[in-house]
A = this chain, B = another copy of it.
Amino acid sequence: MGLTKTKEFTKTQNEIAAMAKALAHPARIAILQFLAKQKSCVCGDIVEELPLAQSTVSQHLKELKSVGLIKGEIEGPAVCYCIDLKALAKIKSIFGELFSEVEQNTCC
């Protein structure tokens, strides 16, 4: 993101931005959509689905995990990634709040 003056903004503003950042790459959108529609959620299957190297997919998974959107469970040698529905609900409400706030547009 380059240098960002995080401390100069409110907690909420930073939180919304962090959530948005997690969604700010097509590969991560693709991962979420794949996890939603697929019964399998093994990391290897995600790697096969995406046009990216294994290490790159792993990085994207890490970012989604960092905001809590997905969680990984170790299953033998593999890892099963799942969407965290609680985190999803939180994101939904955070964005919903922002959108309805912005909708009360009084200027112009």
Contact call A106/B39, Cβ cutoff below 8 A: yes
Interface size class of A (residues with CB under 8 A): 35 or more
Q: Are B23 and A104 in contact (CB under 8 A)?
A: no
Contact indicator B101/A33 (Cβ below 8 Å): yes
* A6 to B52 CA separation, bound complex (whole angstroms): 11
**A82-108 vs B, Cβ < 8 Å mask (1 yes, 0 no):** 110100100110010011011111111
- The answer to whether A29 and B52 touch across the interface, beta carbons within 8 angstroms, is no
| Complex contact B14–A26 (CB within 8 A) | yes
Q: Does A80 contact B (CB under 8 A)?
A: yes
Query: Please, which residues of chain B bring their CB within 8 A of the CB of A77?
Result: none
Whole-angstrom distance between the alpha carbons of A30 and B5 in the complex? Answer: 12
CB pair B20 A24 closer than 8 Å: yes
